[in-house]
Structures are given as structure tokens and as C-alpha cells.
Amino acid sequence: MNPIKHVAVIMDGNGRWGISHKGSRNLGHREGLNTVEVIIEECIKEKIKYLTLYTFSTENWKRPKKEIKYLFILLENFLLKRIDELIEKNIKLRFIGELNKLPSTLKNLIKLSEEKTSQNTAVQVNIALNYGSKNELINALKMINKKNITINEKNIDKNLFTNSIPNPDLMIRTGNTQRLSNFMLWQLAYTEIFFEKKLWPDFKKKDFRKILSKFISIKRNFGSI
Ligand code: IPE
Ligand code: IPE
Ligand code: MG
């Protein structure tokens, strides 16, 4: 059995890539999509069942309107143009985050793509969109309170956006920055974390494979010896 069930990724460095290639930050976002496709393919090949991609954080609303709009349009176009291909490749999409705050065209497309891919089984790609771990935890605690159930690990797990998704075995952050930026603070409690110097658009198949093989060699203790 594959010891890697779930890989989570903070796809950082697009903006810097765009600027350093004599373009705009948005050029980097567009280029970053190629890496997304490569990594999804690799997960399918490696029989990794869950891939979570941090796409837009609750803090990313602080960015210029133009950049935010571009990011949403990029995602909309991807969902519009590629949905048949995703179905053909047996890829399941799930979106995690505070989705009700998103523009309605995007919300409709999200619903549609989740529905259309719901039966697929090769890999489940979780798109973290308007996702913030603190927001997620507050939300979960409010639900627990409303349902009048006990606060315990199981009930918190069940009421997070990530309910029914196993915790990540490994998390990769590209872009030469060593922080979590409000990503899966609860779920990463025992995850192996890899900080990668390369910017997301420069992150290639061989870089991903290198990290997977490093992961395999790690002895995970989970507190034991
Ligand atoms: C990550 O790349 C993608 C998003 C946050 C949408 P950045 O846009 O943060 O790129 P840098 O870190 O500024 O280079
Ligand atoms: C984290 O990257 C969010 C995503 C990749 C979607 P940021 O670029 O927003 O993180 P900070 O602000 O540098 O911590
Ligand atoms: Mg960044």
C-alpha cells in the first residue's frame, strides 16, 4: 500500500516568478497552472489519493483588486475549459474554504464541477479557496455549539471544511518562505513539512519526486519511539 495518501501544497512564488520574467505578477499566476497540472498527473501516477492546493487565503483579499480578479478569472476559465478533461482523467474536485464570499459565477462553477466529478476516483483534488485555518476552526466550533455536541477531536475533525479527508502526510511550501500562512493548522499537527526554495512555476516533476522519496525515508513516530 502506498504510505502517502495525502499531499498538501502551499503554491507560493507565482508573483515573484512573473516579475522576474519581465512580466506582471499575473503572468506568474498563469504559469503556475502548468505546475498544478504536472503535480496532479504525478499524484495519479503515484496513486496518491488526495492532493490539497492552497489557492487563495482569507488574507489574500488584502491584495490589489486587479490581481484578485485575475486569480478568480483564471480559476473560472480553468473550470470551464478543462472540466471534460478532468472527468476523462477520473479526477474528483472538492473545494474547501469560506465559499459563500466568492463571486456568484465562480460559486456556480464550483458547484457544477464538484457535481460533475463527484464519482471520480483516481485522485481527489481539494482546492483551498478563501481558506483560512483560523476561520475554519471558528466555524467548526460554532457548528459544534449549534449541534450541542461535545468538543473533542473527532467532532472538530467532522466539522472542519476538510471533514472526511485524511490529514496530510506531507506538506510542501514552495517559494523559499518558511511559514504556514494560516494553512491547515489543525490538520498539519503530525505532517512532515518540506520547504522548497523554488518558486511554484519552477517546481517540476523531479523536484516533487525528490520530496516524495525523502518522505518515504522518514521514520514517523507520532509521539512514540
Ligand atoms: C502564491 O503566489 C499564489 C497566491 C497566493 C494566489 P504569490 O502570489 O503569493 O507569489 P509571491 O509569493 O508574491 O511571489
Ligand atoms: C499563502 O501565500 C497563500 C497561498 C499560497 C494561497 P501568501 O503569499 O499569501 O503568504 P504570505 O502572505 O507570504 O505569508
Ligand atoms: Mg506569496
Residue 10 dihedral angles phi and psi, to the nearest 5°:
-95, 105
pLDDT exceeds cutoff 80 at 1: no
| CATH numbers and ranges of domains, the chain | 6-132+168-217 (3.40.1180.10)
* pLDDT for residue 179: 98
Q: Grid coordinates in use for 207?
A: 523536484
| 151-167 tens-digit pLDDT | 999 999 999 999 999 99
In the reported structure, the alpha carbon of residue 125 is separated from the centroid of ligand 1 by a whole-number distance in angstroms of: 20
pLDDT of residue 102: 97
Residue 60 appears among annotated catalytic residues: yes
Q: How far is the CA of 224 from the centre of ligand 2 (A)?
A: 33
Q: pTM to 2 decimals?
A: 0.98
- Position 52 scores a pLDDT of 99
Q: What is the pLDDT of residues 92-123, one digit of tens each?
A: 999 999 999 999 999 999 999 999 999 999 99
Which residues are CB-contacts of 133 (< 8 A; sequence separation ≥ 6)? 180, 182, 183, 184, 185, 186
Query: Is the beta carbon of 179 within 6 A of some atom in ligand 2?
Result: yes
Indicate which ligand has the atom closest to the C-alpha of 181.
2
Q: Give the active site residue among 12, 130, 159, 169.
A: 12
In whole angstroms, give the CA distance from residue 48 to residue 32: 21
**pLDDT(2) > 90:** no
Percent of the chain with pLDDT over 70: 100
pLDDT, tens only, 57-67: 999 999 999 99
